[in-house]
Amino acid sequence: MATEFPTQEWKDYELLDSGGGMKLEKFGGFVLARPEPKALWDKDMSEEQWGSMTHTRFTPGAGFGKAGKEDSGTWDRLRKMPDQWWIRYRNYFSLRLGLTSFKHVGVFPEQAANWDYIFSQTSRIAASQETRPKVLNLFAYTGAASLAARKAGADVTHLDSVRQVVTWAHENQDRSGLDGIRWVVEDAMKFARREAKRGNVYQGIILDPPAYGHGPDGEKWKLDECLFDLMKDVGKILAPQNSFMVLNLYSNGFSAALGETVVRQALSLSPDFPLDSGELALRDSFGKVLPLSIFVRLRR
């Protein structure tokens, strides 16, 4: 099992320091301080150094520690900066960032390793056939993975249950000089089951499910209860040959080994079928490694 990091070629992001339950990050020209429960160690920089560099700091609100609301809070401006700004990932795409009412800003930087994998696998399949690969991105958020697949030549279906983030993803597509992505506001499980009944098949499927969530019609999502059934549906719509799948999980209760077992059992894979799995992590400027999610990847 591997630990993967964003490429050093990405100049618009840097983890400057981490520790004390916080991380200090540079996105383009602005430095943000955000809570990070996994940063259990001490900071290398002093509080004065953090304060001298930070443009805005996130302060958790009343929902701190409550499932589904633990990331709510406010941004405290220490220096002048816009509410929204843009960064670029390689020559692939642009991403709009914003100070939301949660600690998220519209991108999860550790996912860069998955974007590169999606780009390379889509390019591989596109080069081997005359038609464009079909790629489905479930729980697609603001669309970096969708843009990576589209940039590599796929026909992309981008699905999320929150209309506002689908609109955000559409802005990212337009700013990136791309077009043609199919936008769907829907519950992921309902969509996958409907696609299976229709006999639709995708050569790439990307999943980044949250621990908790709700569909557009109030459907409840709980990772522990729903993941295995969703993966079984995914197995029905993933092409048996010349295909790939990427599963990313943030839940603290999940390991790469557990993720592999879920995928093997749901897709009826033999014990010796090769899967790639591991952790996605960030490394700060002092060399401290901050693991943030686990991934499982399948290639056929």
Q: Dihedral sign, CA of 215, 183, 239, 259?
A: negative
At residue 63, the pLDDT reads: 52
Q: Dihedral sign, CA of 38, 41, 45, 47?
A: positive
At residue 62, the pLDDT reads: 60
Task: Let me know: does 169 contact 141? Beta carbons within 8 Å.
Answer: yes
Q: Tell me the two tokens of residue 237.
A: 């719509």
| CB-count exposure of residue 114 (10 Å: 0-12, 13-18, 19+) | buried
Confidence (pTM) = 0.93
- What does the angle CA 293 – CA 297 – CA 299 come to, to the nearest 5 degrees? 170
CA–CA dist 227, 102 (Å, integer): 25
pLDDT tens string, the chain, 300 residues long: the values are: 799 999 999 999 999 999 999 999 999 999 999 999 999 999 999 999 999 999 999 999 765 555 555 567 899 999 999 999 999 999 999 999 999 988 899 999 999 999 999 999 999 999 999 999 999 999 999 999 999 999 999 999 999 999 999 999 999 999 999 999 999 999 999 999 999 999 999 999 999 998 877 778 777 778 888 999 999 999 999 999 999 999 999 977 899 999 999 999 999 999 999 999 999 999 999 999 999 999 999 999
Structural domains in the chain plus CATH codes: 2-98 (2.60.40.1180), 109-299 (3.40.50.150)
| CB-count exposure of residue 179 (10 Å: 0-12, 13-18, 19+) | exposed
3-class SS at 193? helix
Non-local (6+) Cβ contacts of 40 within 8 A are 21
> What single DSSP character describes residue 10?
-
At residue 69, the pLDDT reads: 53
